[in-house]
Amino acid sequence: MTFEKKQEKNKLIYNVTVPADEFKAYYNDALSEFAKEMEIDGFRKGHAPIEVVKSKIDPAHVLSHAVEDCIQAKWFEILNQENIEAIKEPSVDVLKMAEGNPLEFKAEVEILPEVKLPDYKKIGKSVSIKEIKVEEKDIKEALKWLVESRAKFFQKEGKAEKGDLIEITYTFKDVEGDKDKKDRFVLGKGHYLEGLEDALIGLGREEKKEVQVVDPKEKKKFVLNITVDSVQKMEVPELNDEFAKTVGFDSVKDLEENTKQGLNQEREISEKQRRRTEVLEKIVKETKVEVPETLIEREGKALLQNLKDRVSYELQMPFEQYLKEVKKTEEEVSKEFNKVAVERVKGFLVLHEIEKMEKVTVTEEEIDKKIDELAANYPDKEKVKEDMKKGNAKFYVEDELKKEKIFNLLGC
């Protein structure tokens, strides 16, 4: 096999020639595969001589399969030989094909673009580190949440007040055929739909109300038809040594110290993530790169699917109904995601280029160790480990370990 290559921006074009003797092997293999399945009078299935098979089969079918198999094999060779970073399947045009002659084809493939990075290490050092503080009020708030999570509830006949557990059935107004949905939450804890909790205070069991709410993430308004199913009084246990023992500690003092350590660790993780986000955003801003439409479109589709999943899970409604409520088409929603998709792809390209520049690698031992750590959180950890090592989770773990090394290199 020989080929000529040229590049146009982030596209590689290969003109490939497979000599007649090489292509003949693929033709003969294709013919043999047809022969195995053919039933010809006077011969057992798959045992007819090749010459007899050739006389009984359309040569164009054999040639077509031979060309397909040959192109697939040769393109795989080129990918490995050229170390191509393709971002989609190649577009292939067959230029010449005939039994007993060389095969010629052209393959065009879109690749990752050229990325011109700024001084990323300098940028990494420029981002400030915020001091981590855990104050007494933070510990008290965390302990308050803990004791409330162990609260007992009793049916209440009166009106709903802050601190009560309320259970509701609701539908979206003006959505024809919308099915009943259920929700339960403690009033005053901050329901993700703005305006919902305040509208329910003062209602009793079996009372109905029409409520306008806002989804803060999407900045969209919805009107709900709500029925109160129950109102329950919350009885919170006292925070003392006896309570501490029920959650695995000898005393309140031990519980407080553990809570402080946990909050400190959480804030350290949060601060690390903040710095990493800021560093990456600054590097992206100073990076020169032409982002391929293919990657923008792919990321946009992922963002759209994420929204669909969230609408289904959080709002419990079909996406078509959601579009009616927000008065937009799916195409319009997709366009809104375009800017976010561009920035996300730029971030990926920056990290990938730093990975290449710094020769960041991950060993099998490092991957296995991380998988062991993740699997330890599951009851059937051995099965989880096996599944992760065989599936796509292994590639995700490898990617995350590489990111960790890159950000460590950047000082965050």
Residue ranges of domains in the chain? 2-111, 151-235, 358-412
What pLDDT is attached to residue 47?
A: 58
CA pseudo-torsion sign 275, 276, 277, 283: positive
For residue 392, how many C-alpha atoms fall within 13 Å in the half-sphere facing its CB?
0
pLDDT at 195 exceeding the cut of 70:
yes
Count CB neighbours of 167 within 10 A. 15
Burial class of residue 308 (count of CB atoms within 10 Å of its CB; 0-12, 13-18, 19+): middle
pLDDT at 384 exceeding the cut of 90:
no
Count CB neighbours of 300 within 10 A. 23
Greater pLDDT, 261 or 49:
261
CB 188 within 8 A of CB 200: no
Mean pLDDT score of the chain, rounded to an integer? 90
Share of the chain above pLDDT 70, in %: 95
C-alpha 314/C-alpha 308 separation (Å) is 10
pLDDT at 34 exceeding the cut of 80:
no
What pLDDT is attached to residue 390?
A: 79
Give residue-wise pLDDT tens across range 38-65. Answer: 666 656 665 566 666 666 678 888 899 9
CB 325 within 8 A of CB 220: yes
C-alpha 9/C-alpha 291 separation (Å) is 11
Model confidence at 37, pLDDT cuts 50, 70, 90, reads low
What pLDDT is attached to residue 376?
A: 86
The one-character DSSP state at 312 is: I
pLDDT at 359 exceeding the cut of 90:
yes
The neighbouring-strand residues paired with 15 are 4, 106
pLDDT at 404 exceeding the cut of 80:
yes
> Out of 2-16, 37-51, 259-273, which region has the weakest mean confidence (pLDDT)?
37-51
Candidate CATH numbers 1.20.950.20, 3.10.50.30, 3.30.70.380, 3.30.70.141; the one for domain 151-235: 3.10.50.30
Model confidence at 173, pLDDT cuts 50, 70, 90, reads confident
What pLDDT is attached to residue 52?
A: 63
Candidate CATH numbers 3.40.1410.10, 1.10.240.10, 3.40.640.10, 3.30.70.1050; the one for domain 2-111: 3.30.70.1050
Residue 74: CB partners within 8 Å, gap ≥ 6?
1, 16, 18
What pLDDT is attached to residue 96?
A: 94
Mean pLDDT in residue range 143-172? 92
What pLDDT is attached to residue 324?
A: 83
pLDDT at 385 exceeding the cut of 70:
yes
Alpha helices in 57-173 (DSSP H): 59-82, 120-126, 136-149
Q: Is 239 in a helix, a strand, or coil?
A: coil
CB 252 within 8 A of CB 244: yes
For residue 70, how many C-alpha atoms fall within 13 Å in the half-sphere facing its CB?
31
Choose among 32, 26, 56: nearest CA to 46: 32
> Out of 203-207, 220-224, 328-332, 390-394, which region has the weakest mean confidence (pLDDT)?
390-394
Choose among 91, 81, 98: nearest CA to 8: 91
Give how far the C-alpha of residue 407 lies from the chain's centroid of Cα atoms, to the nearest Å.
20
Query: Beta strand 103-110 with 91-96: parallel, antiparallel or unpaired?
Result: antiparallel
Choose among 196, 182, 183, 189: nearest CA to 148: 189
Between the alpha carbon of residue 96 and those of residues 23, 26, 78, 103, the distances in Å are: 12, 15, 19, 6
pLDDT at 10 exceeding the cut of 70:
yes
What pLDDT is attached to residue 400?
A: 94
Give residue-wise pLDDT tens across range 276-310. Answer: 999 999 999 999 999 999 999 999 999 999 999 98
Retrieve residue 173's tokens.
Answer: 């107004």
Model confidence at 103, pLDDT cuts 50, 70, 90, reads very high
